[in-house]
Structure 1
Amino acid sequence: MPPSQPGKNQVFFGTFIHAKKFGELEYLHNTAICVDVSGKIVAIEPNCNQQKAVETVYARLGWSLDTVAISVARDHRQFFFPGFIDTHVHAPQYPNIGVFGKSTLLDWLNKYTFPMEASLSSLPKARRVYTRCIRRTLAHGTTTAAYYATIDVNATNLLADLCFSMGQRAFVGRVCMDHLGPEYYIDESPDHALAATRATIDHIRSIDSNFEIVSPILTPRFAPACSVETMRGLSELQKQTQLPMQTHISENVNEVELVKELFPDSRSYADVYDTHGLLNEKMILAHAIHLTEEEADLIAERKAKIAHCPCSNSALTSGIARVRWLLGKGIQVGLGTDMSGGYSPSILEAARQAKLVSNHLAVPGGRSDDLSWEEREEAKLSVEEVLYLATRGGAQVLGLANKVGVFEVGKQWDAQLVDLGTVPDEVVEDDQAIHGNVDVFGWETWDERVAKWVFNGDDRNTKKVWVQGRLVHVQTYMY
């Protein structure tokens, strides 16, 4: 379904829930949020129904009834929530989700990942994969995604085109890898890698000149895959363009050892990026599982960001990232699905797993043996905290904190309408058509309803999705 253009001002009525701050959700009941034709929130009115809006709000905004489109979240089962932000996802790997074999990271790359990515030089195949990936992530409420593409310029440009036409806010990165990779899938030289990157930047600028919806993002795959010349060249390009960057760090123990072998003069994995000018406030580092204290301090000092990918970290047996520890260092953290290392396109699933994985740090054994009882308990994340990481945290990581992630005047309307299933008052023979995967009986508090959604929800609960005021997804099947 092509996204609709917001030809009218819009008013949304009902309950709005968002992360007011880390660890605290704010519930705005019986509220109206007014969004202008540019997709920006221009008013938030508490205790406001449609009649009050007509009588007071529209006049103040200079709106007339015939220029306004209205959406309503009904009763206790529906609410508006900010769109999810995926800070780390590999679009070309989407067909492989759930396929891990018995591999860990480096073997998995060679067996599954590189062959799939290379095959997307076929544009018909790339269109099929990318279209499905975007549709699926939108259906799960992801309004913004930081995508890794492939080394193929045309296929990368196609991903950018599709994100733009389908209305998903996106960062699209042409992957650079000229040092480590199979013969059939590797950049010819540093000059080739940089020229191809510039070509993608130019293409995205041609479709979205201000990078308002789709932006390029510089993408060295990870340190072992890139030559010194390529990393330095990307650093210079970043200084020239001020574009964001993304890469991987300390995902797997064997990967960390490989970095030591390849860069014997560097003090650490993080130091490799720092030495070559890539570690700054524009850099998004995925995983960060096996960081040392010194590395975390360096990342904090350089103001680089972290994409936490709990599903992938578990699926590939990479380890447990210490999110509370990272946050305590002053490092901004968001959530990533990391498909296809991750098995799900859902940031809600990533939030669920972030909560559960953090609990493991409270269990004696493994990494927790280095922690005191108080530190183990402190390591656990709450439902409210992981929802912050899924929205406001992700916005901070991607440099969008002034635009999205929360319901505030001046922010853009990137949002989802969530519908929870209601258990009928009377027992009927077959009530499956009445309620879905989240059962709300009606006596739950709002905190309890949100917790049920986090632990049981999926795309069946995502009824509508908007990006910058444009309706980009409507659920079309019944449950």
Structure 2
Amino acid sequence: MPEPRLNQRFAIVGTFVHSSNEQSLLTLQDHCLGVANGKIIFLQKWDEDLLTLLQEHNILPESVIYLKERQFLIPGFVDTHIHASQYPNCGKGLDEGLLSWLHKYTFPVEAKFADLEFATETYSKVISRVIKNGTTTACYYATIDTDATLRLCDIVDKAGQRAVVGKVNMDQNSPDFYKEETTQSFQNTIRYVNEVINREYQLVKPCITPRFAISCCMDLMKQLGQLARSHHLHVQTHICETRDECTMVQKLYPESKSYTDVYEQAGLLTKKTVLAHGIYLSKEERETIKKRRSGISHCPNSNLSIRSGLLDVKGCFEDDIAVGLGTDISGGYSPSIMDAMRTAISTSNTIAMQRGPSYTPLDYKDVFRMATLGGARVLDMDDIIGNFEVGKEFDALVIDPKAAGSVIDVFENDSIEDVIQKFVFLGDDRNILKVFVAGRDLSEKSCVEPLNIS
């Protein structure tokens, strides 16, 4: 279990970078942020009278972290769509389109997780990797195996990461070696949800996870929708990822007006629903998603790697739909949200080249917000995490653009905004010195240890 956070008070002095609903990027230099019991208790400009500020909040001077010049603090990254069980396939098997790719590569590797030893080893590796890359909150797909999914929850909890974790449901159009019977699938999901609730994890929540409309019958999806609503649970699934997928869903559910309408009829669309991809959503479908306050996970690496298509994120923004970023490993080959940020810009630039000068693509500020506050909104957690507002939990990353091994070169005339932009386009895990989740320092040094970060 994570170490207790009670009575832990500390402060950080330096430069803070975050987003608000109104501004994609806010830079606060010469500020001090205070943390108590894992939550932000103040963020304000400081002067020579720092000691008085600390005394007002019962923070000892030796519990202050001073960031060095050019270092800065950002909110932790939020990965809104990641298949932890596909991690063994990262960086390989990208020669097929979605539906054939699932049967050739994905289902066989996911079936291996019935072996708890394999599951433990693999899940431990992927959790370690994504935390190292700055993901403080993740929305995980596991597999159809209940015990292995519970093992994933244990590993995430022990690592101290914030997460929603789903046991996958599949009862049709799936291989015999990786498929459930409808009643069994639902009963195992009830067992999974109850077990996660009973374990009383601090930061790990269960998530209802019908893989997608092709692999789940309507009866199963309706039962899952009811379970999600009765327990106020998150829901995650896929939608409109490829044209072939959309055509198949239309054939399977001819009584539904659209792919989105399938989930609407099943009662799966809520403000806690994460819809991965959404590339081929119609205007009417986006209106339904907006009405239900569901969010979209944009997975640009995956969309390009298995040639699914290009999501018009700006169009979603115009329709007032929350959009976060997802790595979607192993359709996406990188477990880093920083890769997702860059690939999202490349995707948007491609759309701009197709549509002409009237289309304004995403910039580094847009994707920074998507990776932090935007992802929190998609997960219906923006009242808890996503930026440095007082009262929110302290999920954050200490960034050093000049860290050992960094590929970023910083010049004397570079402004703080220049350095942030360079980090977005060039940074990697070497630039992430510390990872905080709910005030707990997941690196080796205690978060309350006084230090000048080097």
Whether 1:142 aligns to 2:130 is no
Alignment of 1:281 onto 2:271: yes
Distance, in Å, in 1 between the alignment partners of 2:96 and 2:58 is: 61
Q: Which amino acid aligns with 1:27?
A: T
- The 1:186–1:467 alpha-carbon spacing in structure 2 relative to 1, beyond 3 Å, is same
Partner of 1:207: 199
Deviation beyond 6 Å, 4+ runs, structure 1: none
Q: Which residue of 2 aligns with 1:463?
A: 433
2:9 is the alignment partner of 1:9: yes
1:304 corresponding residue in structure 2: 294
Q: How big is each residue's C-alpha offset from its partner over 1:336-388, in whole Å with a ceiling of 9 and x where there is no partner?
A: 00011111111111011111110011113xxx4xxx641xx22x001101000
Question: C-alpha distance in 1, partners of 2:120/2:211?
Answer: 22
Q: CA deviation at 1:307?
A: 0.5
Q: CA deviation at 1:104?
A: 0.5
Deviation at 1:180? 1.9
Unaligned runs of 5+ in 2: 446-453
Q: Match of 1:315? A: 305
Note the residue ranges of structure 1 that are not aligned, 5 or more in a row.
Answer: 423-433
> Where do residues 161-200 of structure 1 align in structure 2 (5 Å cutoff)?
161-188=154-181, 190-200=182-192
Counterparts in 2 of 1:388 and 1:285: CA distance versus 1, 3 Å: same
**Is the CA contact (8 Å cut-off) linking 2:10 and 2:60 kept in structure 1?**
no
1:406 paired with 2:387, answer: yes
CA contact (8 A) 2:397 2:432 kept: yes
Q: 1:96 aligns with which of 89, 114, 122?
A: 89
**1:156·1:174 contact (CA, 8 Å) conserved in 2?**
yes
Matched-pair identity in %: 39
CA contact (8 A) 1:235 1:278 kept: yes
1:11–1:32 Cα contact (<8 Å) kept: yes
Kindly provide the CA deviation profile for residues 230-273 of structure 1, in whole angstroms up to 9, marking residues without a partner as x. 01101111121011100000001111111011111111111111
Which of 50, 53, 56 does residue 53 from structure 1 map onto? 50
Q: CA deviation at 1:140?
A: 0.7
1:391 shift after superposition: 0.3
Equivalent residue for 2:320? 330
What SS class does the counterpart of residue 56 from structure 2 fall into? helix
Work out the CA distance in 1 between the residues paired with 2:396 and 2:352: 34
Distance in 1 between residues matched to 2:60 and 2:412, nearest whole Å: 37
Report the Cα offset of residue 70 of structure 1. 2.2
Would you say the 8 A contact 1:8–1:69 is kept in 2? no
Aligned to 2:68: 74
Q: Tell me the equivalent position of 1:440.
A: 410
Distance in 2 between the 1:161 and 1:4 partners? 14
| Cα distance in structure 2, aligned partners of 1:205 and 1:246 | 18
Q: Return the offset for 1:208.
A: 2.1
Change (3 A) 1:74 1:88: same
The answer as to 2:58 corresponding to 1:62 is yes
Residues 114-165 of structure 1: CA deviation (Å, up to 9, x unaligned): 0111001111111111111111110011000000000001100000011111
Question: How does 1:386-425 map onto structure 2 within 5 Å?
Answer: 386-421=367-402
Residue in 2 aligned with 1:428?
none
Aligned residue for 2:246?
256
C-alpha contact (below 8 Å) 2:94/2:305 kept by paired residues: no
* 1:435, distance to aligned residue in structure 2 (A): 5.2
Cα gap change, 1:474 to 1:327, in 2 (>3 Å): farther
Instruction: Give the alignment's Cα RMSD to 1 decimal.
Output: 1.8
- Contact kept in structure 1, 2:10 and 2:59, CA below 8 Å: no
The answer for the alignment partner of 2:450 in structure 1 is: none
Amino acid of the structure 2 residue aligned with 1:71: I
Query: What's 1:430 paired with?
Result: none
Letter in 2 for 1:207: R
Contact 2:8 2:38 in 1 (8 A): no
Q: What SS is found at the alignment partner of 1:217?
A: strand
The DSSP-based 3-state class of the residue aligned with 1:225 is: coil
Aligned to 2:41: 42
Q: Deviations over 1:406-433 (max 9, x none)?
A: 01110111000011127xxxxxxxxxxx
- Structure 2 counterpart of 1:247, which letter? T
Shift of 1:73: 1.4
CA distance in 2, matches of 1:12, 1:125: 40
Shift of residue 442, structure 1, vs aligned partner:
2.4
Whole-angstrom distance in 2 between the partners of 1:315 and 1:401 = 30
Q: Does 2:262 align with 1:266?
A: no
Any idea what the Cα deviations from partners look like across 1:282-332, whole Å, max 9, x if unmatched?
211000001111111121122111001001000010000010101111111
SS of the aligned residue for 1:264 comes to coil
Q: Which moved more, 1:318-327 or 1:7-16?
A: 7-16
SS at match of 2:443: strand
Q: What amino acid sits opposite 1:157 in the alignment?
A: L
| Aligned mates of 1:61, 1:116 — CA distance in 2 | 51
Aligned to 1:161, the other structure's residue is in SS state helix
Work out whether residues 23 and 385 of structure 1, in 8 Å CA contact, stay in contact via their aligned partners in 2. Answer: no
The match for 1:124 is: 117
> 2: CA distance between counterparts of 1:214 and 1:19?
25
Note the C-alpha offset of 1:202: 1.7
1:206 CA drift (Å): 2.4
Tell whether the 8 Å contact from 1:23 to 1:382 is kept in structure 2 after alignment. Answer: no
Structure 2 match to 1:384: 365
TM-superposed deviation, 1:63: 4.0
Partner Cα distance (1:291, 1:63) in 2? 51
Which amino acid is the alignment partner of residue 267 of structure 1?
K
Q: After alignment, is 447-456 or 138-147 more displaced?
A: 447-456
TM-score scaled by length of structure 2: 0.94
Question: How far is the alpha carbon of 1:169 from its aligned partner?
Answer: 0.1
